[in-house]
Amino acid sequence: MGDSEAVATRPFLPRPRPAAPRAGKLALAGLALVVLVLLPALHLYTPAGSRLHVSDYAITLGGKIMCYAIVAVALDLIWGYGGILSLGHGLFFALGGYAFGMYLMRAIGRDGVYQSDLPDFMVFLDWKHLPWYWQWTDHFAWAVLLVVVVPALIALVFGLFAFRSRVGGVYFSIITQALTFAAMLLFFRNETGFGGNNGFTDFKRILGFPITAPATRVVLFMLTAATLAGTLALVRWLVRSKFGRVLTAIRDAEPRVRFLGYDPLPYKLFAWTLSAMIAAIAGALYVPQVGIINPSEMSPASSIELAIWVAVGGRGTMFGAVLGAALVNLAKSWFTMAFPEYWLVFLGLLFVLVTRFLPDGVVGLGRRLVRGRAA
């Protein structure tokens, strides 16, 4: 308004932005050094018997957890900052995995059991030709394109209809569950052309390099770490921009945002689609490291598990998403070996307890402790 004449003007000091604590930055840099240099070096250059040796298992587990962390950050973007709880992000993760898996299947060439140009499962089904959607999947670049574009399109169309009809809250979550469940049933069918309930496995090579060789593993591991770092940087930049402030405003008081003249639809749609794309990239990195993709990744339970990671770590904090993914999955690796039958019980219990006692997750607990000590 034009009231500046009425009010004495004095230069306005820019508001202080809380700088990330220096210790935190150093810790992050240290972590990056360990993940990008130390662990790979110890895996490659120490003999298997050495006490310093980092095993195949550890490298694979680390890579896997970082993939999960990437999805967790993607989910945190829309849930923690956008207030949209997706219980179907496993779908985008799996679609990314399947898209890249198509390339890995084609890269097997004639080294499969049936020594055919077609992937084994197609030979088994007595198919004579590749289905049309398998075209060009022998090209790495095309597969990478599919990894990003297909999930993005699905997310875009789904989001457009859901957000335009103002479907939100628990209804949105339920529909995303239904979506991933429907996709799972579709992928279970052999006729769909994605290997039915076995999915894709027995990969041999990636860009010509043997997929199980230590050097290949290490490159995938480092690539995953770099992607995680890139995702964190991107999401951090996004949530600190004006876009991020509008997004959190939509989360907290959507009608107010509308009456301020913002249309929430494109904001939600952008965050949602970006989140799906990031999840898909994580899936594409996951499949070559784990060596298998099947429809169980699309099960409703896996998507719920994803949300639990974010809840445990603390939603609305990026570090929390990473921490939650790491903690829950490390616990899972140990639990499924020690008490395999109780894992789901434990997971459910964890979710209930965290929701009840730690609404802001482990990060929220940490903050409370720090504040308590400072006071």
Partner 1 sequence: MSTQRSSHDGGRGIEHLGIVHAATPGVLDTSHDVILYLENITVTFDGFRALNRLTLYLGVGELRCVIGPNGAGKTTMMDVITGKTRPDSGTAFFGQTMDLARMSEAEIAQAGIGRKFQKPTVFERHTVFENLELALESDRRVRKSLLASLDGEGSDRIADMLRFVQLADVADRPAGLLSHGQKQWLEIGMLLVQRPKLLLLDEPVAGMSDAETERTAELIASLAGRHSVVVVEHDMDFVGLLGGKVTVLDEGAVLAEGTLEAVQGDPRVIEVYLGR
Residue 279 CB neighbours (<10 A)? 32
10 binds partner 1, rule: CB under 8 A: yes
230 binds partner 1, rule: CB under 8 A: no
21 binds partner 1, rule: CB under 8 A: no
- φ, ψ for residue 32 (rounded to 5)? -60, -40
DSSP letters for 258-298: HHTT--HHHHHHHHHHHHHHHHHHHHHHHHHHH-EE-GGGG
367 binds partner 1, rule: CB under 8 A: no
Give the pairing type, strands 205-206 and 209-210.
Answer: antiparallel
123 binds partner 1, rule: CB under 8 A: no
41 binds partner 1, rule: CB under 8 A: no
Q: How far is the CB of 179 from partner 1 (least distance, A)?
A: 24
132 binds partner 1, rule: CB under 8 A: no
259 binds partner 1, rule: CB under 8 A: yes
The C-alpha atoms of residue 185 and residue 124 are separated, in whole angstroms, by 20
371 binds partner 1, rule: CB under 8 A: no
7 binds partner 1, rule: CB under 8 A: yes
Beta strands per DSSP E along 73-182: none
356 binds partner 1, rule: CB under 8 A: no
Q: Which amino acid is at 372?
A: G
Q: How far is the CB of 68 from partner 1 (least distance, A)?
A: 27
37 binds partner 1, rule: CB under 8 A: no
Q: How far is the CB of 161 from partner 1 (least distance, A)?
A: 17
Q: Which residues contact 350 (CB under 8 A, 6 or more apart)?
A: 308, 312, 328
Structure tokens at 308: 């639990």
Among residues 131, 266, 348, 359, the one that binds partner 1 under rule CB under 8 A: 266
Residue 260 CB neighbours (<10 A)? 10
Residue 67's closest CA among 299, 300, 315, 291? 291
Among residues 109, 258, 349, 368, the one that binds partner 1 under rule CB under 8 A: 258
Of 260 and 330, which CB lies nearer to partner 1 in the complex structure?
A: 260
260 binds partner 1, rule: CB under 8 A: yes
With contact defined as beta carbons under 8 Å apart, do 285 and 67 qualify?
yes
152 binds partner 1, rule: CB under 8 A: no
Enumerate binding residues for partner 1 (CB under 8 A): 1-4, 6-10, 12, 14-16, 238, 241-243, 245-246, 248-249, 252-253, 255-264, 266-267, 270
